[in-house]
Amino acid sequence: MASALLSDILLRYASSLLFLLATTFAGVFLADILFSLGFHRKIGRPLRPLLKSARLPEELSVPIITGMIDSRAEHAIVSSLVRSEALSHREAVCYSLISLPFGGSRLMIQYVLPVAIAGLGPVVGTIYVALSILGLFIGMIIGVIGGRIFLTEERRKITLEDEIQGRKVDIRRSLLKAASMTKNVGVKYVIVVIILSILIYFGMFDYLKSLSTPLAKAFFVSPVALPITITYAVNSMAAVLMAGEFIRGGIVMWKDALIALFVGRVIFAIISEFPRHSFPFYVSIYQPKLALKLTLALIFYTLISTPLLVLAVRILPVV
């Protein structure tokens, strides 16, 4: 009986793995081709009213578009403006929030969307990515409000020597990028499947539900969905894959899985992403004082946007 149950679980996971690998490869490959074709250029002109609304120089549309290709190049442009005193620290912070949906959406479409659709399914995966992108726009709104409050209405023109350089389509590069991403996803998925198979086989989720109820209530996460939150605090991609298997296995409802992912994102951001990645990235480009301000702005945006995303999940109709 136990062997039959384990065989059924492994067979279902093997089928999911094949679908996951195929969709991840195709998604990353196609997204890289689209960005190589340069469709990001088309949004340059509409960005200017947005920057005006936040009292930022219109010329900052150039680093925003650059950030859709290379975030380091984007921040290098902004850093050079700060060093030349063409931009203040407050303007740099407001810019960093306003630019979130542009470079962030590219990363979501190129890397998160293929994994989310493969792991969570087309409907739930699309909802998860759409809400994640909505969170980026919440950050943009915070940046606009901050600009209206903290920046002056003085209009000035700044000079940017950097121009957006086109990038030719390189099928080989796109294939290698897709293969690398697919391999990374596949390895993590296998690890998740092994852990899940062991936990399900020994009935650990029923035990976890009774043990973790008080903690789950404190974070408004379903007790049985806590492993998703905890996993996200360690590895976001593995958490998405785990959430998908929980949904398909009937362990959690899709809303509880998404809430667990968003709550896990806060924990991951505070204990790992910001201190281990964001701040070192910023401090490698900006002065330490400004790097700290930029990191704190990201923390503030995350703490504000996450409860709103959780609320959005709760009011969504059942799919």
Query: H/E/C letters for each residue in the chain?
Result: CHHHHHHHHHHHHHHHHHHHHHHHHHHHHHHHHHHHCCHHHHHCCCHHHHHHHCCCCHHHHHHHHHHCCCHHHHHHHHHHHHHCCCCCHHHHHHHHHHCHHHHHHHHHHHHHHHHHHHHHCHHHHHHHHHHHHHHHHHHHHHHHHHHHHHCCCCCCCCCCCCCCCCCCCCHHHHHHHHHHHHHHHHHHHHHHHHHHHHHHHCCHHHHHHHHCHHHHHHHCCCHHHHHHHHHHHHCHHHHHHHHHHHHHCCCCCHHHHHHHHHHHHHHHHHHHHHHHHHHHHHHCCCCHHHHHHHHHHHHHHHHHHHHHHHHHHHHCCCC
Residue 132 in this model has a pLDDT that exceeds 90: yes
* pLDDT confidence of residue 207: 61
Residue 5 in this model has a pLDDT that exceeds 90: no
Residue 91 in this model has a pLDDT that exceeds 70: yes
Using alpha carbons, select from 203, 48, 158, 179 the residue that is nearest to residue 114. 179
pTM of the full structure: 0.74
Angstrom distances, CA of residue 7 to CA of 2, 10, 214, 242: 9, 5, 34, 19
Using alpha carbons, select from 225, 303, 305, 311 the residue that is nearest to residue 270. 303
Say how far apart CA 191 and CA 158 lie, in whole Å: 51
* pLDDT confidence of residue 27: 60
- Top mean pLDDT of 14-28, 267-281, 295-309 is at 295-309
pLDDT in tens, 245-289: 889 888 889 999 999 999 888 877 877 677 767 877 787 778 889
pLDDT in tens, 133-174: 999 999 999 999 999 999 876 655 665 544 444 456 678 887
- Top pLDDT among 180 and 10 is at 180
* pLDDT confidence of residue 16: 67
Q: What mean pLDDT comes out for the span 222-230?
A: 80
Residue 64 in this model has a pLDDT that exceeds 50: yes
Q: What mean pLDDT comes out for the span 84-97?
A: 91
> Is the Cβ–Cβ distance between 97 and 139 less than 8 Å?
yes
* pLDDT confidence of residue 165: 47
Lowest mean pLDDT among 24-28, 34-38, 100-104: 34-38
> Is the Cβ–Cβ distance between 75 and 286 less than 8 Å?
yes
**Chain mean pLDDT for the chain:** 78
* pLDDT confidence of residue 37: 66
Q: Which two tokens stand for residue 309?
A: 């995303």
* pLDDT confidence of residue 1: 44
Lowest mean pLDDT among 30-39, 43-52, 223-232: 30-39
Backbone angles phi, psi at 212, to 5 degrees: -105, 10
